[in-house]
């Protein structure tokens, strides 16, 4: 930095300061190499050549030994390889550790420590570390950055980054003598020769810089200190709310007192009971919540619900199951509708909708054909056979018992579930449940009857692989 401030005033290097080197200028790389050769032959050891670009053959001419940089990089690279593999092992394949435990979790069926999947990151870490080692190692070996260099004070030397070539003989060299060396340089074809003197200017970094540097270094300690302070602390507040969504709203909660519109001494509230929110008038139903029609919403004829149950068919499931998980015949059932309710118009579009919904919600167990051979069912049956799970096989929709069921009963099965099948009424809107029911009926009408028949029909299915 020093040079950049006082570049224009080379006068400060007066003759009184110590001579440290002789700087000889050449016009082309070839005369530089030739001069270097001559200097080496003359026995000079402490010298260096300076050029705007790397000159071919100069290494031999001034006797530069091969740098050890590659070995350093190789060592760092191998270390990084070990580090990366250990890191991934520790992070994904262990979970017991006193501090910062690893995190074992299974993903896409891969082993916890799966070498093929760990190669890419390992490779990247090797390259990154080696690149850093190369970059910083090179500057370190070169003794850079060095901002105060007496050579930069010579105006002539500024062309070293442009079009001139320099040979510098250092005064420390045994063979060096000012007059003789100068004469030699002239012999070797130097176009100009200048003396480079010790830099006597104040090389100390200005106090302001020093203070700023110290403050900056201390400031650097702050983030790790803060992280250390907060690590392991428990917070009751959410960490940061950049996007507030609807977390904070100006409103009153349902069971709270309303705003006081009077004075603090004689409070008055908007409503007589003081509540912020009033309860609905008795006998009202919110828009869209009216489920009056039993045919449409529950699938049975109005008024046929057995009184003893009271809570509707859904309660039947929990109470009325025997050990097989099947609804027992003894439980009284309502009278199911055996046709579509008037709210529903069965046409092609409706069936298509039913097919689409069926393929989203039902095929996983019942299969595309409704034969009960869905992938989940196949897997669960296999697990159940191995004693690893309890499972009631999914029904084939072509089963005569299912085909005999009234439409309302099928609708009820979809809504409330049966055996291991869960209720879908919370996921599928009423109309879509009817659409599925219609599609189930359509499937049943296709003629494929049993899984066995289907297997025979598909007997040509090939095995994958060999």
Partner 1 sequence: MHARRPGKITSPIVSLSTSYVKLVPLGLVIGAIGLGLAYFMSLPQGGLKRFSYSYLVTYCSLLSMSLGCLFFVTVQHLTRAGWSVTVRRIAEIFAMCLIPMFVLFLPILLPVLMQRDDVYQWVNAGWLAGDREMFREIKNAYLNPSWFGIRIVAYFVIWGMMAYSFFGKSLKQDKTADPTLSRTMQKSATWKMIIFAATLVFASFDMEMSLSPRWFSTMFPVYFFAGGVMSAMAAIILTAALLQRSGRVTDEITVEHYHDLAKLTFGFIFFWGYIAFSQFMLIWYANLPEETFWYRFRMGDSASPGWIFWSLLLLFGHLLIPFLAMMARTVRRNKTYLLFATIFILCMHWVDHFWIIMPQLNIEMGATDVLGGDPANNPLPFSWLIDVPCAIGMVGIYVALFSGIAADRPLVPLHDPRLEESLNYRNA
Partner 2 sequence: MAATVDFSLDNTHEDPSRRADLVLGGMTYGDITDNVAEIWEAGRPPKIWYVVFGTAVVLLSILGVCLLHLFFMGVGVWGNNNPVYWGFPIVNFVFWVGIGHAGTLISAILFLFRQNWRTSINRAAEAMTIFAVVCAGLFPGVHIGRLWVFYWLFPVPTEHLAMWPNFRSPLLWDVFAVGTYATVSLLFWYMGMVPDIATFRDRSKTKIQKFIYGLLSLGWTGSARNWHRYEMAYTILAALATPLVLSVHTIVSFDFAVSQLPGWHTTIFPPYFVAGAIFSGFAMVVTLLVPCRSLFKLERLITIRHLENMNKIIMATGLMVGTAYGIEFFIAWYGGVEYEKFAFINRAFGNYGISYWIMVTCNVFIPQLFWIRWFRTNLLAMVVISIFVNIGMWFERFVILMSLTRDFLPSSWGNFYPSLVDILMLIGSFGLFFTLFCLFCRYLPIIAISEVKNVSPQTLHHHGHDEHEHHVEHGTAH
Q: Of residues 58-87, which lie at the interface with partner 1 (CB under 8 A)? A: 70, 74
Dihedral over Cα of 183, 189, 195, 198: its sign: negative
Residue 310: which of partner 2, partner 1, none does it interact with, CB under 5 to 8 A by kind? none
Beta strands in 97-161 (DSSP E): none
Any idea which residue has 């005064």 for tokens?
Answer: 171
Kind and range of the H or E element at 381? helix 375-385
What's the residue count for the chain?
Answer: 466
Contact 196, 181 (CB under 8 A): no
What is the distance in angstroms between the CA of the first residue and the CA of the last residue of the chain? Answer: 73
From the list partner 2, partner 1, none, pick the one residue 57 interacts with, judged by a Cβ distance below 5 to 8 Å according to partner type: partner 1
110 vs 210, beta carbon nearer partner 1: 110
Contact with partner 1 (CB under 8 A) among 116, 238, 303, 387: 116
Could you tell me how many residues of this chain bind partner 1 (CB under 8 A)?
19
Stretch that binds partner 1, among 137-145, 148-156, 392-400, 454-462 (CB under 8 A): 454-462
DSSP summary character for residue 275: B
Among 98, 109, 244, 447, binds partner 1 (CB under 8 A): 109
Q: Using CA atoms, how far apart are residues 346 and 435, in angstroms rounded to an integer?
A: 8
Q: Is 355 exposed, middle or buried (0-12, 13-18, 19+ CB in 10 A)?
A: middle
Which CB sits closer to partner 1, 69 or 344? 69
Q: Which does 204 bind (CB under 5 to 8 A by kind): partner 1, partner 2, none?
A: none
Distance CA 297, CA 7 (A): 91
**CA-CA-CA-CA torsion sign (379, 385, 391, 395):** positive
Q: What's the rounded Cα separation, in Å, for the pair 260 and 266?
A: 9
Indicate whether 106 belongs to the interface with partner 1 (CB under 8 A): no
Q: Which is nearer to partner 1, 117 or 346 (CB)?
A: 117
Q: Which one of 87, 117, 168, 351 is in contact with partner 1 (CB under 8 A)?
A: 117
Span interacting with partner 1, options 109-117, 203-211, 228-236, 431-439, rule CB under 8 A: 109-117
Contacts of 204 (CB under 8 A, 6+ apart): none
Query: Closer CB to partner 2, residue 149 or residue 331?
Result: 149
272 binds, among partner 2, partner 1, none (CB under 5 to 8 A by kind): none
Q: Between residues 70 and 339, which has the closer beta carbon with respect to partner 1?
A: 70
Q: Which residues bind partner 1 (CB under 8 A)?
A: 30, 33-34, 56-57, 70, 74, 108-110, 116-117, 119, 460-462, 464-466
């Amino acid at each position: 930095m020093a040079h950049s401030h006082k570049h224009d005033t080379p006068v400060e290097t007066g003759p009184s300061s110590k001579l440290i080197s002789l700087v000889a200028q050449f016009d082309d790389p070839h005369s530089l190499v030739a001069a270097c050769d001559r200097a080496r032959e003359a026995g000079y050891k402490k010298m260096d050549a300076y050029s705007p670009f790397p000159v071919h053959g100069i290494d031999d001419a001034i006797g530069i030994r091969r740098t050890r940089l590659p070995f350093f990089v190789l060592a760092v690279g191998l270390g990084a390889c070990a580090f990366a593999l250990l890191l991934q092992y520790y992070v994904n394949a262990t979970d017991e550790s006193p501090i910062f435990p690893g995190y074992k979790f299974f993903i896409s069926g891969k082993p916890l420590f799966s070498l093929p999947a760990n190669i890419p990151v390992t490779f990247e870490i090797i390259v990154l570390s080696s690149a850093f080692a190369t970059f910083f190692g090179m500057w370190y070996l070169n003794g850079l950055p060095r901002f105060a260099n007496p050579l930069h004070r010579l105006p002539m030397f500024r062309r070293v980054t442009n079009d001139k070539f320099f040979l510098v003989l250092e005064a420390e060299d045994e063979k060096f003598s000012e007059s003789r060396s100068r004469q030699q340089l002239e012999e070797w074809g130097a176009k100009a020769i200048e003396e480079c003197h010790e830099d006597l200017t104040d090389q100390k970094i200005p106090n302001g810089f020093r203070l700023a540097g110290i403050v900056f270094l201390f400031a650097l300690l702050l983030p790790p200190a803060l992280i250390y302070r907060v690590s392991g602390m428990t917070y009751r507040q959410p960490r940061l709310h950049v996007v507030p969504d609807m977390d904070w709203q100006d409103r009153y909660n349902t069971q709270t007192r309303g705003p006081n519109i009077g004075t603090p001494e004689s409070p008055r509230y908007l409503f007589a009971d003081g509540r912020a929110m009033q309860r609905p008038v008795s006998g009202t139903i919110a828009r869209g919540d009216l489920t009056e029609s039993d045919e449409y919403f529950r699938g049975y004829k109005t008024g046929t619900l057995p009184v003893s149950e009271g809570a509707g068919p859904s309660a039947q499931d929990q109470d009325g199951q025997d050990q097989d998980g099947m609804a027992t015949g003894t439980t009284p059932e309502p009278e199911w509708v055996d046709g579509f309710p008037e709210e529903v118009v069965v046409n092609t579009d409706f069936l298509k909708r039913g097919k689409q919904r069926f393929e989203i919600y039902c095929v996983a167990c019942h299969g595309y054909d409704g034969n009960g051979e869905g992938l989940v069912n196949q897997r669960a049956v296999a697990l159940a056979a191995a004693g690893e799970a309890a499972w009631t096989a999914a029904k084939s929709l072509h089963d005569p018992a299912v085909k005999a069921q009234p439409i309302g009963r099928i609708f009820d099965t979809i809504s409330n579930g049966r055996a291991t099948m869960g209720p879908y009424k919370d996921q599928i809107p009423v109309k879509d449940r009817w659409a599925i029911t219609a599609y189930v009926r359509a499937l049943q009408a296709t003629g494929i009857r049993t899984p066995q028949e289907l297997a025979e029909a598909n007997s040509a299915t090939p095995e994958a692989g060999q």
